[in-house]
Amino acid sequence: MALVTISKADVEHVALLARLELTEEEKERYTQQLNNILGYMEKMNALDTAGVEPTAHVLPMQNVFREDAARPGLPRELALHNAPQAQDGMYKVPRIV
Amino acid sequence: MEYEAVIGLEVHTELKTNSKVFCGCTTAFGGEPNTHVCPICLGLPGVLPVLNKRVVEFAIKIGLALNCKIAAFSKFDRKNYYYPDLPKNYQISQYDLPIAAGGYLPIEVNGETKSIGITRVHMEEDAGKLLHSGESISRSPYSLVDYNRTGVPLLEIVSEPDLRTPEEARAYLEKLKAILQYTDVSDCKMEEGSLRCDANVSIRPVGSDKFGTKTEIKNMNSFRALQRALEYEIQRQREVLESGGRIVQETRSWDEAKGITVSMRSKEQAHDYRYFPEPDLVPLVIEREWVEEIRRSLPELPDARKERLIRDYGLPPYDAGVITSSRDLADFFDRTVALHPDAKTVSNWVMGELLRLLNAGNLDITRSLIKPAGLAELLRLMDQGTISGKMAKVIFEEMFSTGKDPGTIVREQGLVQISDEGELAAVVDRVLAGNPGVVEDFRAGKERALGFLVGQVMKETKGKANPGLVNKLLKERLGSN
């Protein structure tokens, strides 16, 4: 498998998606660090996993359900307690677009 | 050039469970803002979602009703995007291993049956509701968020691009709604948002097997809106192509008031959902036994029920189609026929008077004050000759608006039909004696004179005379039979 590398543009894209504001210095540093992490992944690529089934989860568990019963949630004052801003019982958020 | 449209629908339906998909908050509609929330659906740190078993059961049920294959192995994934109606900044959905896929739904348009492919059915959580401070999102300095709806279970049902006209799209959505209601998994109230529909639309020259560039249409909140929006969009795309332009792949919103679709282009158009397996939920291994158990629990579905009404009662296919379009209406019909076995007459009253009054009042059959027992009793009174067909319609309207039973209305308004031959004969004789000229006319061959005489008898009896008997008595006396 070809070696995957992370460019500074990739870091900027991911930062945008994660709503992170990065300085130029941080962008350089994270590009380097992410490439190091990916380099480590390359070591794992060396393993032969041909006979191993892919898993969707780290635990060997399945079908964990709850029954369909409603129960009271949080009182509204508590739900809104940590909201930076609230109005009319609702969370108030800044301009969206 | 002749164009044809290629349409696929994405339908979201809220499931009728008691609690949300990953927590125990109620799914009730219309509570005070942020009163149906808890740390899980608010996405507070350190909480874990646990899957509501009934959501899986409902999803399998719909998968089976839509002739899909049910996955033996299925899982949930995170769909990542930033939008304040989603407190976690991701939606728990299903990506590459949906619960059901590869089905079909037969629809009927203009008497022809066509099979529409079902690509997939998957489970996900609904988002919250935004209330914008300005008249639109882009003109709002701030917005308010209500998370009551966040985490309400949704099924997303995706069709193949097999629909060719707005009528077919509408028929598909109506049929899908009927199935969701028959299986009792959703209320399907478009006005409350428990059934929502987006459409992918493109056009291409007739005969071409390539797809044109598509647009996605959102915000169609009724069957009529779906049909109108598609008609508009197809025409818009045709005009763009015919004037030498090209279609831009984009999302457009239906503006109901203006009757147009408008581009929703935003700054961040490039979607990058970065799906990955939801680490907080373990996978699903669906046992065949469970699937078969759910299959056995499926009710009679609309097509089977329609066939039964045609076969057992000899109803015309059109009547059977209208009656079975809603489970509640079909139940009403079946219960009435159980009490009054003249199915064709029951069908005429359900399709005629009942639907007319329901539609006029924009009411659902479940809100009707007339119950099957009431209609059956009304028809019995008519059969016995106690009331005439004309009276029955008056009584039906009274039943519809007051919920009174027909016997009570008959007594209160003195609507009993006069079927006593002696009593009517006296009136008939009086009318004949009082209208010698008309009697002459009739004897001279003017058939219409008879109608006038019947009218006079009705007038004398305030409309209560049994019309068949009046005719018989008049003809006997005029010696015409």
- Residue boundaries of the structural domains of chain B: 3-291, 300-413, 421-478
CB B116 within 8 Å of CB B160: yes
**Cα separation, B422 vs B439, whole angstroms:** 21
Structure token pair of residue B72:
């033996």
Residue pLDDT, tens place only, A44-74: 888 898 998 888 888 889 999 999 999 999 9
Q: What is the distance between the alpha carbons of residues B409 and B396, in angstroms, rounded to a whole number?
A: 9
Cβ within 8 Å, pair A90-B146: yes
For residue A68, give every residue at least 6 positions away whose Cβ sits within 8 Å of its Cβ, in sequence order, or none. B17, B18, B19, B52, B53, B54, B55
Tell me which chain B residue has its CA closest to the CA of residue A76. B35
Asked whether A53 and B109 are in contact (CB, 8 A), the reply is no
Task: Indicate the class that CATH gives domain B421-478.
Answer: mainly alpha
Q: Best of B53, B85, B144, B291 to disrupt the A interface by mutation (most A CBs within 10 Å)?
A: B144
φ, ψ dihedrals at B101, nearest 5°? -160, 165
CA distance B324 to B309: 9
Question: Who's near B336: CB < 8 A, 6+ residues apart?
Answer: B346, B350, B372, B375, B376
Chain B: give the shortest CA distance to residue A80, in Å. Answer: 8
Q: Out of A62, A76, A87, name the one closest to residue B283 (CB).
A: A62
Any chain A CB within 8 A of the CB of B251? Answer: no
The structural domains of chain A, with segments of one domain joined by +, span 8-45
Contact map slice: B 104-133 vs A, CB within 8 A? 130-131
Residue B262, burial from CB neighbour count under 10 angstroms (0-12, 13-18, 19+): exposed
- pLDDT tens for the 481 residues of chain B, in order: 899 999 999 999 999 999 999 999 999 998 999 999 999 999 999 999 999 999 999 999 999 999 999 999 999 999 998 889 999 999 999 999 999 999 999 999 988 999 999 999 999 999 999 999 888 888 889 999 999 999 999 999 999 999 999 999 999 999 999 999 999 999 998 888 899 999 999 999 999 999 999 999 998 989 999 999 999 999 999 999 999 999 999 999 999 999 999 998 654 445 688 899 999 999 999 999 999 999 999 999 999 999 999 999 999 999 999 999 999 999 999 999 999 999 999 999 999 999 999 989 888 888 889 999 999 999 999 988 788 888 899 899 999 999 999 988 888 887 777 878 888 889 899 999 999 988 888 888 888 888 899 888 888 888 788 888 888 888 888 875 4
The residue written with tokens 């294959």 in the block is B69
CB contact under 8 A, A57 and B277: yes
The tokens of B101 are what?
Answer: 């896929």
Q: How far does CA A31 lie from the centroid of its chain? A: 17
Place of tokens 């409309």: B463
d(CA B296, CA B137): 47
Q: What is the pLDDT of residue B478?
A: 85
Instruction: Determine how many CB atoms are found less than 10 A away from the CB of residue B33.
Output: 22
**Contact B17/A91, CB-based, under 8 Å?**
no
* Whether the Cβ atoms of residue B86 and residue B150 lie closer than 8 Å to each other: yes
Query: The domain A8-45: what is its CATH number?
Result: 1.10.20
Q: Which of residues 21-50 of A touch B (CB under 8 A)?
A: none
How far B46 CA lies from chain A's nearest CA (Å)? 15
CA distance B13 to chain A (A): 18
Nearest CA in chain A to B271: A17
Phi, psi of B245, rounded to the nearest 5 degrees = -85, 180
User: Rounded mean pLDDT of chain A?
Assistant: 91
Cβ B334 vs Cβ B350: under 8 Å: no
Question: Does the complex come out with an ipTM higher than 0.90?
Answer: no
d(CA B208, CA B237) in angstroms, rounded, equals 16
Sign of the dihedral through C-alpha B321, B326, B327, B328: negative
pLDDT of residue B191: 82
DSSP H or E segment with residue B179: helix B166-182
The answer to whether the Cβ–Cβ distance between B18 and A17 falls below 8 Å is no
Within 8 A of A17 by CB-CB distance, chain B residues are 80, 82, 272, 274
Q: Give the pairing type, strands B153-159 and B142-146.
A: unpaired
Angle formed at CA A40 by CA A34 and CA A42, multiple of 5 degrees: 110
Measured distance between the N- and C-terminal CA atoms of chain B, rounded to whole angstroms: 67
Rounded Cα–Cα distance for residues B156 and B134 (Å): 30
Distance between CA atoms of residues B340 and B329, nearest Å = 16
Q: How far is A10 from chain B (nearest CA, A)?
A: 13
Residue A1 has pLDDT above 60, yes or no: no
Q: Are B95 and B275 in contact (CB under 8 A)?
A: yes
Q: How many angstroms away from the CA of A25 is the closest CA of chain B?
A: 25
Taking an 8 Å cut-off on Cβ atoms, the answer to whether A59 and B282 are in contact is yes
Structure tokens at B106: 């037969």
For residue B27, give the chain A residue with the closest CA: A70
β-pair partners for B253: B218, B262
> Does A59 lie at the interface with B, CB-CB under 8 angstroms?
yes
